[in-house]
Structures are given as C-alpha cells and as structure tokens.
Amino acid sequence: MIIQVLGSGCPTCKKLFESTKQAVAELGLKEEVEYITDVQEIVKMGVMSSPVLAIDGKPVIAGFLPDAKKIREVISENIK
Amino acid sequence: MDIFYPLQLLADWLTYNVFSIAPRTLLANAVDFFINDTIKIFLLLVVIIFIVSVIRSFLPPEKIKKILSHKNKFVGNILASLLGIITPFCSCSAIPLFLGFVEAGVPLGVTFSFLVASPMINEVALVLLFGLFGWKIAILYILSGLIISIVSGIIIGELKVENLVEDFSKGGKINTLNLPSLSWKQRFVYARDYTFDIVKRVWLYIIIGIGIGAFIHGYVPADLIARYAGGNNWYSVPLAVLIGIPLYSNVAGVIPLVSVLTEKGVSMGTTLAFMMAVTGLSLPEFLILRKVMKTKLIVIFASIIGIGIILTGYLFNFILK
C-alpha cells in the first residue's frame, strides 16, 4: 500500500501530512507516508483541491483537513 | 418588521434583567449591542453556511471545470462568476484549481473571473454583511463583486496573456475523476461538518470583532472617526483598499469592526471597497499563484481588481450620500 499526502506546501497540507503519519503509526502499519509538493501530481490525479490524501495513487480525501478518526477510517478501509 | 426583533428583546432582557446593568448607560449600550450581534451572527452563520454547503455538494470544482470548459466569453465569464459565489476558496487550492481549469480548456479570462469571484463573494462575508448591514448592502456587495469579476475576466481574456502562464502541458496524461454521486444523507453530513468546521475557524475572530465593535459603539464619539474617514476625503477609498490587502484571513473579525465604523460616519463606499479588498485581494493567494504564472500576469490581475474595487468605492460614496 502506498500512502501519499499531496499539497501545495500550505499549512493545512503540512498538518494533513503530520496527522496521516500519526494515524499510520497508531494503526500499527509499517508504511512510509510520502509527502509530495509537486502540484502537477495533484492535477494529474484529476483532483482540483488541496491537500489530498491518496492511497495507491487513488485520491481518498481532497480539499480539507479531516480529524484523526476519519483518517484512520479511510486508511483501514483501503488496507488490502 | 425586522425579523431579528425577538433577538433584540432577548439581548435587552439579558442586559437589563439578568446582568442588571442600568439602562441607557454606555456600558449597557455596549453589552446589549454585543449580545444582540453575537447571537444574530452565529444563527445566520449556521443556517446560511449549511444551505450553501448543501448546494455546493452538487457542484464540486471538478464538475464546474466541465461546465466552464470551452465556454465563450461573456457567457463563460458570467457563469464562472456566479459559480464562484458558492465555491469556497482556500489559497491551498488555488493552484490545482487554476491548472485544472486551464488544462480542461477553460479560457484564461473565464478562469480569472472565477478566481476573482470565489474569494471575494464568500459565505462568511455575506452572513456578516447581511447580519450587520442589512440585506440591501449585502446584495449591493454581491452585485458589485459579480460585475468586478465578470469585467476583469473579460479584460484579461482580451489581453491575450496566455504566454504568461507557465507551461505545464508536458506533464502527461490527466485522469478524469469520476465522483460518486451522493445521497441526501451524505450531503447533509457534509454540510453539517463543513458548517461546524467554518464556525470553529471563525468564531473567535467574530467575537473579538464584535467585542471591539461594541466598545466603539458604546464609547467612541461619532465625529472623531467621520472626520478622518468620511466620504469627503478623496484618499479614503484607496487607503482603505491598501489597508485591506494584508487582512485577508481575518475577514470574520474585520467586518463587525467595520460595521461599527460605518455607523460612526465612515461612508458606505469606502466600507464596501475596504471589505472587497480584504476578501478579493489576498497576498498569500498572489504569492502562491507565482508557481503557475509570471509575476507580470499577477500584477495585471491584482491591478485590474484593485482599480475595479476603488472605482466601486467612489461610485457608492457618490450614490449613497
């Protein structure tokens, strides 16, 4: 599973990156969370808002900073 | 009749009976004003943001992109500005939004109409305008914001400045995202979360803004402010616009303050220009946009909006004497 946070480098994006890393640790997963600031990558996914949380290249959250519970939920739902 | 009349009764009752402050004193005036405005604004915030969020759940930016692609000017500019009203704008999203539009074939001028309207006409500003200035001023604000965004988009389209946009087209294939359609329940959950999120972000600014406003309302004499910022000074409008530029993130705190200044004699045109500058001219947004366009285009963009806002200010100072 590839977990990525994509953002334009704004404060909200950094916060999402931090919360995601924490959520991954709390779920006891070994995955590294990638932080991508190349906006072109967001556009390529077809998403038009930032920040984005993507799992295996698929955007699961876009455009807002969810709470810790929501992040854990979407990660758990997408574990294979 | 004023639909907020019951709130005034509640505020009076709290001030005079519960806190037992002697009526017609400066303190009573300030406290009564503070309670009345705070309750009114928070009620309006919750109701209006909720409704706007439900409407917005039907029109995510990905869908707006499709609506606006290959639209001709005028129709495209008008549509883009109208759609900009209901879309929230965060400088975080400015770049993906801009690139997404350009790559979907939305004309540059139409994209700019959207970029102007989206932050300038936002629901928090509208709630505060409606609650503190009344519906006439709120509508005046929407109409002038629409005209500025439509006209500046058309001008930018006519300037043929496509060469000032950084070339990103080599980036490879772009996926089309198929958004799942939502049930009504999901829309309401989204709207509830969004409303809660906004209120959580702005409540402190609003309370501080209304608090300082209440103090000025109760204690500061009217002619003091009017002497400096009344409609007669030619420089009051451009000055208000300049002061407004760095205040972007604090629109929630700024508007309650400004409403009191208006009551104390600052002219309406100056006030409107100031609020438009606070919402429409955002320094962080301009800095972020440098990643996707040449500085020259940002300067053109900012100058056109700036001039539009200043003209609007003079116009209303002249009309609303």
pLDDT digit string (tens) for B11-32?
Answer: 888 888 888 887 778 888 888 8
Band of pLDDT at residue B178, cut at 50, 70 and 90: low
Percent above pLDDT 70 for chain B: 90
Cβ atoms of B107 and B157 closer than 8 Å? yes
Coil, helix or strand at residue B290: coil
Say yes or no for a CB contact (<8 Å) between A10 and B288: yes
Whether the per-residue pLDDT at B248 is higher than 70: the answer is no
Cβ atoms of B68 and B114 closer than 8 Å? yes
A-B contacts at Cβ under 8 angstroms: 73
Task: Tell me if chain A has a CB within 8 Å of the CB of B100.
Answer: yes
In this complex, the residue of B92, B175, B292 whose CB is nearest that of residue A50 is B92
Give the pLDDT score at A47: 81
Taking CB atoms and an 8 Å cutoff, what residues of chain B touch A69?
A: none
Tell me which amino acid residue A79 is: I
Whether the per-residue pLDDT at B173 is higher than 60: the answer is no
Question: Which structure tokens are listed for A5?
Answer: 């946070």
Cβ atoms of B256 and B206 closer than 8 Å? yes
Residues B32-37 have a mean pLDDT of 87
Distances (CA, A) of B228 to B81, B133, B256: 35, 21, 19
Give the pLDDT score at B309: 94
Tell me which amino acid residue B252 is: A
Taking CB atoms and an 8 Å cutoff, what residues of chain A touch B65?
A: 48
In this complex, the residue of A12, A48, A64 whose CB is nearest that of residue B96 is A48
DSSP per-residue codes, B207-235? HHHHHHHHHHHHHS-HHHHHHHHSTT-TT
Helix, strand, coil abundance in chain A, percent, nearest 5:
40, 20, 40
Say yes or no for a CB contact (<8 Å) between B62 and A46: yes
B175 vs B45 pLDDT, higher one: B45
Give the pLDDT score at B80: 92
Taking CB atoms and an 8 Å cutoff, what residues of chain A touch B174?
A: 43-44, 46
Mean of the per-residue pLDDT values for chain B? 84
Question: Which structure tokens are listed for B90?
Answer: 């965060």
Band of pLDDT at residue B3, cut at 50, 70 and 90: confident
Say yes or no for a CB contact (<8 Å) between B99 and A10: no
Taking CB atoms and an 8 Å cutoff, what residues of chain B touch A12?
A: 90, 92
Query: DSSP code of A8?
Result: S
Cβ atoms of B289 and B98 closer than 8 Å? yes
Give the pLDDT score at B4: 78
In this complex, the residue of A7, A47, A50 whose CB is nearest that of residue B177 is A47
Give the pLDDT score at B152: 94
Q: Can you give the pTM of this predicted structure?
A: 0.83
Whether the per-residue pLDDT at B169 is higher than 60: the answer is no
Residues B166-193 have a mean pLDDT of 72
Task: Tell me if chain B has a CB within 8 Å of the CB of A57.
Answer: no
Query: DSSP code of B183?
Result: P
Give all strands of the β-sheet with A33-36 in edge-to-edge order. A33-36, A3-6, A52-55, A58-62
Coil, helix or strand at residue A58: strand
Element (H, E) at A34: strand A33-36
Relative orientation angle of helices B94-103 and B108-120, to the nearest 10 degrees: 150
Q: Burial, A71: exposed, middle or buried (Cβ in 10 Å; 0-12, 13-18, 19+)?
A: buried
Residues ≥6 apart with Cβ < 8 Å to B94: A8, B115, B285, B288, B289
Residues A10-35 have a mean pLDDT of 86
Give the pLDDT score at B298: 92
Give the pLDDT score at B231: 56
Whether the per-residue pLDDT at B123 is higher than 60: the answer is yes
Distances (CA, A) of A43 to B17, B86, B97, B118, B186: 59, 22, 8, 19, 25
Name, of A33-42, B40-49, B227-236, the range with top average pLDDT: B40-49
Taking CB atoms and an 8 Å cutoff, what residues of chain B touch A45?
A: 175, 177
- Number of Cβ atoms within 10 Å of the Cβ of B20: 8
Band of pLDDT at residue A36, cut at 50, 70 and 90: confident
Whether the per-residue pLDDT at B285 is higher than 90: the answer is no
In this complex, the residue of A39, A47, A63 whose CB is nearest that of residue B291 is A39
Whether the per-residue pLDDT at B254 is higher than 60: the answer is yes
Give the pLDDT score at B101: 86
Say yes or no for a CB contact (<8 Å) between A45 and B177: yes
Name, of A35-44, B167-176, B295-304, the range with top average pLDDT: B295-304
Give the pLDDT score at B151: 95
Band of pLDDT at residue B236, cut at 50, 70 and 90: confident
CA gap B103, A48 in Å, rounded = 11
Task: Tell me if chain B has a CB within 8 Å of the CB of A58.
Answer: no
